[in-house]
Amino acid sequence: MQTRRAIASFLLLAALPVSLVIPARSQNTEQVTKTTLKVGDHAPDFTLLSDQWKTVKLSDFRGKKNVFLAVYVLAFTGG
Amino acid sequence: MDSPAANAAFAKQIDIKFPLLSDMNKKMLKDYGILKGYDVQSENYQWAQRANIVIDKDGIIQHIDFDESAINPNNALSVCTDLHKKQTSK
């Protein structure tokens, strides 16, 4: 476990939909943006807000840590 | 989209030790191509596609899981472990 802590800065992006009722009733699903990223590509830099209201950039970890980015939908955070 | 305040409450509730991040303007989701739209009763709602992405120290993507395969983080975790082994054995 210690190794795991050392290897990756584990970032979780909790992206909860506006309403939890919607998914079961949705009619049409469309990909707003196409996923073109693949293994070996440069990851686009991002700036996200932490739960402490601080900005976190991917480039903050460049040369320092590997990053595990988990985009987690329906996290039931209540937000 | 969860606000930082909602994430802070959630992190405290389940004792999370890593940063919980919010993409309030959906910019990252668009840049990564993982924003989905849903039409419900003539309204369009947008939220993220589930994904696990491992990015190495040089900013190179080493692993991606989408949708159902991203529910289990073990594949991505083993990529992290291998990556760390490679980097520390250099």
Task: Return averaged pLDDT per consecutive 10 residues of chain A, 79 residues in all.
Answer: 52 48 54 83 95 93 94 64
Q: Where are the domains of chain B?
A: 24-89
Closest CB to A4: pick one of B34, B70, B81. Answer: B81
> Nearest residue on chain A to B11, judged by CA atoms?
A51
DSSP letter assigned to residue B4? H
ipTM above 0.90, yes or no: no
Distances (CA, A) of B88 to A6, A55, B57, B78, B83: 11, 29, 12, 15, 9
| Mean pLDDT (whole number) for B65-88 | 91
> Nearest residue on chain B to A16, judged by CA atoms?
B1
pLDDT tens, position by position, B9-29: 777 777 888 888 999 889 999
Tell me whether residue A25 is in a domain. Answer: no
Mean pLDDT of chain B: 88
Q: Computed over its alpha carbons, how large is the radius of gyration of chain A?
A: 16
Q: Which of A15, A31, A5 is nearest to A71 (CA)?
A: A15
Inter-residue contact A79 to B2 (CB < 8 Å): yes
At residue A77, the pLDDT reads 53
Greater confidence, B87 or B60?
B60
Tell me whether residue A77 is in a domain. Answer: yes
Tell me whether residue A32 is in a domain. Answer: no
Tell me whether residue A29 is in a domain. Answer: no
Number of domains in chain A: 1
Minimum distance, in Å, between the CA of residue B63 and any CA atom of chain A = 6
pLDDT tens, position by position, B34-45: 998 888 888 888
Domain hosting residue A68, numbered range: 1-18+37-79
CA distance A19 to B76: 29
At residue A24, the pLDDT reads 47
At residue A6, the pLDDT reads 46
Q: Tell me if A26 and B9 make a contact (CB, 8 A cut-off).
A: no
Question: What six digits make up the tokens of A17?
Answer: 């939909």
Strands (E), chain A: 8-15, 28-31, 47-50, 55-57, 66-73
